[in-house]
Structure 1
Amino acid sequence: MQGPDGIEWRVSPGLTDYAEALSAMEARAAAIAAGEASELIWLLEHPPVYTAGTSADPAELIDPRFPVVPAGRGGRYTYHGPGQRIGYLMLDLNRRGRDVRCFVHGVEGWVIAALARIGITAFRAPGRIGIWTHDASGQEAKIGAIGIRVRRWVTLHGFSVNLAPNLSDFGGIVPCGIAEYPVTSAQALGITCDHATFDAALAFTATAFLTSLTCDAEIEA
């Protein structure tokens, strides 16, 4: 369906194989760069998988109980699985400001705003990747991950948000290389939120996210 600013907004039901999604995402990004396709925001869910970013450290793969797939994005090891909302963003920064830091900051702000819509106070943590909140004990805990790649100024990959995954499945890796803090979810915080509800929160806050991408500074991709 058509989303804000002429962007295609796609929601895939059920579980989408990670390797198939990666292939489809790369093909779409190439078509966008060639001027042959519209931008795309793709919301989906994966079966259990560990994905390895370009900075993945083998020592942080503790128990490879699920398939391990090279992702091509920045970052280290991440877990994806049922109960987690994945957002893949294929956006053309040629028309939105060639500023990768601004883009990542905007994605973080978008996820934080969407979480606020479902009653979760989340925040950025300086020096730490991802989206953070406080768990039931008051400790800082990670509720969302960000992983981005930019090719020909078109973005790939995006974010994941833990709505109700099996948190023990994160135990096979050191999530994003951060061992000092736990991982949490909306469910663990006592908030029931299905994918459709969170998708609606993302849609409500999408326009503000896209507006935030009009940054002045430029950096090399």
Structure 2
Amino acid sequence: MTHIPDMPDIEWRISPGLTPYDQSLAEMETRAAAVAAGEARELVWLLEHPPVYTAGTSADPVELVDPRFPVFQTGRGGKYTYHGPGQRTGYLILDLNKRGRDVRHFVHTLEDWLIAALGQLGVNAFRAEGRVGIWTRDGGTEAKVGAIGVRVRRWVTLHGFAVNVAPDLSHFGGIVPCGLPEFPVTSLFALNGVKSLETFDEALAFSFPAFLKTLASDR
């Protein structure tokens, strides 16, 4: 059982099984509107999806190489991304009105949070200049272990991240992941044998208070 951070203003939710992408998108949109209206708590939602490809606002149809899974258009930033079993997807519905109206700072802090969580599990992850996402070295080659795609409406964040814990990496072959054909993707399992989503969730929960503190800090 993952230790849930004690945060009265933020719901921390972990959904079991596979959550249909369209269902989660509808719920996320509804929750974000409620947060913006002051009618609901902020939300950190951890889940898995059935295999899907999602297209960000800058997706190029040429990079949809083999649409073997359903394809969803989405309002987040970025290009094509894969979601599927064994990948921890996290949706963050946070109110930047009270955490600093700075989208660049939010993305940067989100990267730091994921890097810190991966570091607890023995993965030396890092950000790469000009490449959004979370990177590491797999056999000496730079490889992407996590994707980030966010949207902000009325200063409330939507979407979030996807970290490859133990997905079927061959599923990424249907797209050019994030529009970067020269870089492979990897996973926690491929790097050091970690395949438990709960293990990664624990690392996320442990690092979350520092994420919130940094997000609210003066820039």
Letter in 1 for 2:209: T
Distance in 2 between residues matched to 1:215 and 1:103, nearest whole Å: 11
TM-score by length of 1: 0.95
Alignment of 1:51 with 2:54, yes or no, is yes
Q: 1:168 to 1:202 in 2, by over 3 A?
A: same
Residue aligning to 2:99: 96
User: Secondary structure of the residue that 1:188 maps to in structure 2?
Assistant: helix
Q: 1:154-184: per-residue Cα shift (whole Å, max 9, x none)?
A: 0000000000000010000000111111000
| Equivalent residue in structure 1 for 2:126, among 113, 116, 123 | 123
| Equivalent residue in structure 2 for 1:141, among 135, 143, 151 | 143
| Equivalent residue in structure 2 for 1:18, among 18, 21, 25 | 21
Query: Is the 2:5–2:205 Cα contact (8 Å) retained in structure 1?
Result: no
Greater fraction of residues in strand: 2
Gaps of 5+ in 1: none
Residue aligning to 2:192: 190
Which region of structure 1 is more displaced relative to structure 2, 162-171 or 189-198? 189-198
| Equivalent residue in structure 1 for 2:213, among 206, 211, 214 | 211
Residue aligning to 2:172: 170
Distance apart, 1:190 and its partner CA? 2.8
Query: Is the 2:147–2:162 Cα contact (8 Å) retained in structure 1?
Result: yes
Gaps of 5+ in 2: none
Query: Is the 1:4–1:206 Cα contact (8 Å) retained in structure 2?
Result: no
Distance in 1 between residues matched to 2:6 and 2:135, nearest whole Å: 27
Letter in 2 for 1:176: C
Identity of aligned residues (%): 69
Kindly report structure 1 stretches of 4+ aligned residues shifted beyond 6 Å.
none
TM-score by length of 2: 0.96
Letter in 2 for 1:92: D
Aligned length: 216
Query: Is the 1:118–1:193 Cα contact (8 Å) retained in structure 2?
Result: no
Q: 1:2 to 1:121 in 2, by over 3 A?
A: closer
Alignment of 1:152 with 2:154, yes or no, is yes
Letter in 2 for 1:200: E
Distance apart, 1:214 and its partner CA? 2.2
